[in-house]
Structure 1
Amino acid sequence: MAGKVTQRKGAASCSRDGGRTGRVQVESRPGVAAGAERGVRGIGRSWGARLLRRALPVCFLFASFSPCGAEEQAYHTTLAGEPGRVTFMGQIVEIPAVNRADMTSITLGASFLSPARGQGPIIPVAAFYHRRITDRSYGRAMVAIFVNELEYDRDLGGWDLVAQFENGTLPVAERELRDGEEIRGSSLNYGTLLGSLGVGWRLPVAPFQVDNDLRVQLVALGGYFYAHRETDSAPGLWVPPNTGLYGARLRCRYDGMRRNLLELPHEGMAAGFDVDYLHRDRWRAEAGSADDGNRNYAQAEGHLVGAIGVPGLSERNRLLLGLYGGFTAQGRGDRFNAFRLNGGPFPGEQYDLAWPHYSGVIYDRVLARGYATATAGYRRELAFFLYLSTLGSYIWADRSSAVGDDRVDFKQMHGSAATVALDSAFPWKSSLYLAWSWESGVLRNGRSGNGVTLIWNKLF
């Protein structure tokens, strides 16, 4: 469904839209481990490790050249939550069912950038995730201490009571980029706390898993925005006043996606949109501005994500597509209400699907007043617990950029990215994500570069 800055000194990778929302940028795959890891262990404890070490190179070697015979055509990928039985290296592996309605997990990882983005080559990520769904309620929490996202929906007999809370309040300053370098004078500490309360309507849809539904929500928004200088802030840098936030949001979500054993999109589509209107109560325009400094603004964003099979090939082969776009009406965007574009794994979890996605390293400091991204890819199931993906992305963004040492403005940029990723089950009810990415320059605002991402997800 929906979820939407940086992290330094071990803080979680997350997003804060100043005066807008705070959205944790962590790929959540809560059901990854329970079935897959137990299944791998079912091969045999005494020689399981040796088997995996020998099997992985074999899987890679033959994955792309396996014949498309009758047996391959009849292959069935084990899907999220369902029990299964597979034959691996001549052994029968039993995969137990998993209750996907009640999930708790943690995510730890990092991206390593070359060249570094600004002064930091490492971007860490950490978060706690919980989801609980019953016949009468829906609860979800993504917690990363300073950046959190909570939602609780309660069925009132045909209608839902919807309560949400989001915050992005990292205790570190944020700097803007120019030609790949951080501009110290743009350093500013700011954050947002935003709550919402309203009504919603929910309808289960095919394939009728716990995360397949159509939702419409209308909520009132209320919160607080703050900003203050840091030691490095330039004397002429615009610092907006602390202010209350008031507004409304219309949200629509459709999720007809079926996930595989590692909670990756397998078949189906998901789509949706958000329309936000916010009023910043005590707001002051930047010096020299002829208007009210974007005191009131409206924003809209939408997404379409899909996964399908490859004609003539087995279920092991999947095609992926992700389209995202957003705009700020009348160009009334600024550094503090801009969209934050997310890199990282191709989304799969219900809320992750709605985050603006641009293939690449985990990074969400690309601020934009408007954007459009398209991602297409191919995934191959190397083994029932192991998937190899290749992805390509294109982006247009009206991106923030430091102008001089004390001003932030926006400029239009185009870019592209490529990613090769490996998803695998791992011992201790966990999973691993390992990826290499190249990006043409939007991420670093003018400099192309590479990155390696490693994420570990542990299910409790």
Structure 2
Amino acid sequence: MSLLRTLCGAGLICLAATAFLLALAWAGRAEEPPTGVAGEPYEATLFGQQIYVPPRDRRSVTAANFGVQWIINGPSELEVLPFGSLFVWRNWDHERRRLRGAFAGVFNDINFNFGSRWLKGWELLLTFDSIIIPLGRAEYVEGQRIRDVEVEWNQIYGGIGVAYRTGLKPWYQDNAIELSLTYEPGYLWFKGKQEASPQFKVPTDTYEGRVRFRMRADGMIRNLMELPHRGFAFGGDFVYANRSRWEEWGGVAFDDPDVRKERSYLTATAFAVAAGGVPFVDSERHRLVSALYAGIGKDQDRFSSFRLPGRPTGYEWEALALPLLPGVAFNELFPRRYLVTTLTYRYEVLFFLYPYVRGTWGLVERPRFADGGAVRMSMDQLPSLGGGVISGAPWRSQIEFSYAYNFGMIRDPGGERQYGSHGMFVFWSKEL
């Protein structure tokens, strides 16, 4: 009965939110200024006052991002989780030089493209990514923290390769098709923790070399808040990796790993995002944004599996490649297979104010308790409903509030196993 009440409650919330947005649309249907496009000048009348938004150079962006995620009765030590990063984007020399960097201290991701002046479209690509967290990391099963497998785990990778890039309609600076092939030498190192079981074998420090094929295509027009307004984006990654040393590890809670197979592994991911109007509604204020994400791997282990959700928010062309999974703590799930699809209805109340309603359905591999306390991986459905609002804020900033209820996640408040997970976050971004 509690699950039924929760389903009905979440459904009523979403219906009420949709009705509210449609009422706003009906009230403002007589006068509808055009939607502003990111980076371009924009004029509008607001409460009798003339508003002018000056043009903005989107080829040079530096932004600080901060947020807090709250999973009510969520996994211990992940129930309330602050996050933040510094985002840097530079695109100069007639798009022959580009830098994209996301710097968060414990996590860093950098791509640097050097284009050729003689071979049009061809580029040298340098990459760097690292995850260095000087704390033990456990795994979670049905919301319970499995301390017996806690281990300090860090990784760092460089990368060098070739890329090819060509522009794409509608010809804004981030509209392009980019293909790349890189070799990424890296190193993984581990440290045991006292909280872990004495029977847990710590993995071996090892060199790992990865070959990555990457594709990104972005034909998206974005509005003044940098939200997808019209168009599409799609792409994917294919990775083959090999470890020079990989010896017996684990042996607690989860199935014993096959270290011979895990020494080399394969992963493949794909995504597609499309934005446009609502059918039979002749208005730019109403937007539907649909997205599909999929991943599959072979011979993956805990340290090479996918991590979901990949992001809380973000709409630039690389962030769009990472899946959203509401009501789940960051990196809580570590599947070898997943399929996630989302549909978002968004309404433009004002040129800087965008409430939305979002439905998500996921088919995701996750750990489950079996008879006798053993842990087994299972493909489960993870549907969710939610909504939020994105708004411009003072000092050239933007803020987003979001709530979602995930019907498929299992939580364990007070030792009582139950379905359903409430997730909320607040996200603030300021251009520097």
TM-score range, shorter chain: 0.7 to 0.9
* Contact kept in structure 1, 2:229 and 2:287, CA below 8 Å: yes
Q: Do the aligned partners of residues 387 and 68 (structure 1) sit closer, same or farther apart at CA in structure 2, a change above 3 Å counting?
A: same
Equivalents in 2 of 1:241, 1:105: separation in Å? Answer: 38
Equivalents in 1 of 2:257, 2:99: separation in Å? Answer: 43
Structure 1 stretch displaced more, 412-421 or 443-452: 443-452
Deviation at 1:444, TM superposition (A): 5.2
Question: Which amino acid is the alignment partner of residue 323 of structure 1?
Answer: L
Aligned partner (choices 406, 421, 430) of residue 449 of structure 1:
421
Look up the match of 1:102: 60
Equivalents in 1 of 2:154, 2:371: separation in Å? Answer: 24
Q: Do the aligned partners of residues 163 and 431 (structure 1) sit closer, same or farther apart at CA in structure 2, a change above 3 Å counting?
A: same
- Where do 1:53-68 residues align within 5 Å? 63-66=24-27, 68=29
Q: Is the counterpart of residue 458 in structure 1 residue 425 in structure 2?
A: no
Q: Is the counterpart of residue 160 in structure 1 residue 118 in structure 2?
A: no
Question: Which amino acid is the alignment partner of residue 208 of structure 2?
Answer: L
Structure 1 stretch displaced more, 363-372 or 437-446: 437-446
Look up the match of 2:149: 186
2:148 aligns to what SS in structure 1? Answer: helix
Equivalents in 1 of 2:51, 2:261: separation in Å? Answer: 62
- Where do 1:26-175 residues align within 5 Å? 63-66=24-27, 68-69=29-30, 71-72=31-32, 75-134=33-92, 135=94, 136-156=96-116, 157-158=119-120, 159-175=122-138
Look up the match of 2:9: none
Structure 1 stretch displaced more, 141-150 or 446-455: 446-455
* Contact kept in structure 1, 2:162 and 2:180, CA below 8 Å: yes
TM-score by length of 1: 0.81
Q: Do the aligned partners of residues 365 and 359 (structure 1) sit closer, same or farther apart at CA in structure 2, a change above 3 Å counting?
A: same
Equivalents in 2 of 1:405, 1:152: separation in Å? Answer: 51
Q: Is the counterpart of residue 313 in structure 1 residue 276 in structure 2?
A: no
Equivalents in 1 of 2:379, 2:331: separation in Å? Answer: 17
Q: Do the aligned partners of residues 61 and 409 (structure 1) sit closer, same or farther apart at CA in structure 2, a change above 3 Å counting?
A: closer
Q: Is the counterpart of residue 411 in structure 1 residue 378 in structure 2?
A: yes
Q: Is the counterpart of residue 429 in structure 1 residue 392 in structure 2?
A: no
Look up the match of 1:324: 293
* Contact kept in structure 1, 2:310 and 2:324, CA below 8 Å: yes
Q: Is the counterpart of residue 275 in structure 1 residue 233 in structure 2?
A: no
TM-score by length of 2: 0.86
Question: Which amino acid is the alignment partner of residue 233 of structure 1?
Answer: A
Look up the match of 1:51: none
Q: Do the aligned partners of residues 427 and 336 (structure 1) sit closer, same or farther apart at CA in structure 2, a change above 3 Å counting?
A: same
Equivalents in 1 of 2:223, 2:144: separation in Å? Answer: 40
Question: Which amino acid is the alignment partner of residue 309 of structure 1?
Answer: G
* Contact kept in structure 2, 1:306 and 1:320, CA below 8 Å: yes
Equivalents in 1 of 2:85, 2:374: separation in Å? Answer: 33
Equivalents in 1 of 2:373, 2:261: separation in Å? Answer: 17
CA RMSD of aligned residues (A): 2.3
Aligned partner (choices 214, 221, 245) of residue 208 of structure 2:
245
Equivalents in 2 of 1:145, 1:443: separation in Å? Answer: 31
Look up the match of 1:254: 217
Q: Is the counterpart of residue 292 in structure 1 residue 239 in structure 2?
A: no
Q: Do the aligned partners of residues 407 and 125 (structure 1) sit closer, same or farther apart at CA in structure 2, a change above 3 Å counting?
A: farther
* Contact kept in structure 2, 1:339 and 1:368, CA below 8 Å: yes
Deviation at 1:285, TM superposition (A): 3.9
Gaps of 5+ in 1: 1-58
Deviation at 1:174, TM superposition (A): 1.2
Equivalents in 1 of 2:382, 2:194: separation in Å? Answer: 34
Equivalents in 2 of 1:228, 1:325: separation in Å? Answer: 32
RCO (CA 8 Å, sep 6+): is it higher in 1 or 2? 1
Q: Do the aligned partners of residues 177 and 345 (structure 1) sit closer, same or farther apart at CA in structure 2, a change above 3 Å counting?
A: closer
Q: Do the aligned partners of residues 237 and 412 (structure 1) sit closer, same or farther apart at CA in structure 2, a change above 3 Å counting?
A: farther
Q: Do the aligned partners of residues 361 and 397 (structure 1) sit closer, same or farther apart at CA in structure 2, a change above 3 Å counting?
A: closer
Equivalents in 2 of 1:276, 1:321: separation in Å? Answer: 26
Question: Which amino acid is the alignment partner of residue 241 of structure 1?
Answer: T
1:292 aligns to what SS in structure 2? Answer: helix
- Where do 1:262-411 residues align within 5 Å? 262-286=225-249, 292-310=260-278, 311-329=280-298, 332-342=299-309, 345=312, 347-360=314-327, 363-400=330-367, 410-411=377-378
Question: Which amino acid is the alignment partner of residue 171 of structure 1?
Answer: P
Deviation at 1:402, TM superposition (A): 7.4
Equivalents in 2 of 1:429, 1:245: separation in Å? Answer: 42
Question: Which amino acid is the alignment partner of residue 399 of structure 2?
Answer: L
Equivalents in 1 of 2:329, 2:113: separation in Å? Answer: 29
Question: Which amino acid is the alignment partner of residue 140 of structure 1?
Answer: R
